[in-house]
């Protein structure tokens, strides 16, 4: 998909119409997951099945191999960040989220993940910044608005 289409979808995330925003969100996720074609998508799906089965080590091995093979595949980094977050390894998750943002600066999922990691580490100011960056892309995200309020309360 060309950058013009992606820019159009990013604009749709700011639309007051909920249906337009939801469709744009789904399309962006689909683009990100399909960035490396069937091979990448299948590997991510397999890693998710391992994660769902509680086989964290196997899922991590699979995602790490995918990242090594396709280092510019932002969603592979993002899925591993989610895995690390699920395991309580917030620093490693944060490092992977930062890689996602280097590859895809508008990845609102990774920005949200960064905020969650910073909050888990007690770095509420950094969490607020990450959630605000996600809100710049997805201004109607109630979860990020709520998390900014929660982190702000923890700072006071």
Q: Largest alpha-carbon pair distance within the chain? A: 48
pLDDT in tens, 103-136: 999 999 999 999 999 999 999 999 999 999 999 9
Q: Where are the alpha helices (DSSP H) in 53-141?
A: 56-69, 74-86, 90-103, 108-120, 124-137
Residue ranges of domains in the chain, CATH in brackets: 106-156 (1.25.40.10)
Closest CA to 102 of 126, 68, 78: 78
pTM listed for this prediction: 0.94
Q: What is the pLDDT of residues 14-70, one digit of tens each?
A: 999 999 999 999 999 999 999 999 999 999 999 999 999 999 999 999 999 999 999
């Amino acid at each position: 998909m060309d950058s013009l289409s992606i820019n159009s979808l990013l604009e749709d995330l700011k639309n007051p119409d909920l249906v337009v925003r939801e469709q744009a969100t789904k399309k962006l996720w689909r683009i990100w997951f399909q960035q490396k074609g069937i091979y990448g998508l299948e590997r991510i799906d397999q890693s998710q099945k391992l994660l769902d089965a509680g086989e964290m080590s196997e899922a991590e091995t699979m995602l790490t191999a995918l990242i090594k093979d396709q280092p510019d595949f932002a969603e592979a980094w993002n899925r591993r960040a989610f895995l690390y977050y699920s395991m309580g390894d917030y620093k490693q998750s944060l490092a992977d989220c930062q890689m996602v943002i280097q590859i895809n600066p508008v990845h609102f999922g990774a920005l949200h993940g960064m905020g969650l990691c910073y909050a888990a580490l007690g770095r509420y100011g950094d969490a607020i910044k990450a959630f605000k960056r996600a809100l710049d892309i997805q201004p109607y995200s109630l979860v990020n608005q709520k998390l900014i309020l929660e982190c702000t309360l923890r700072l006071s």
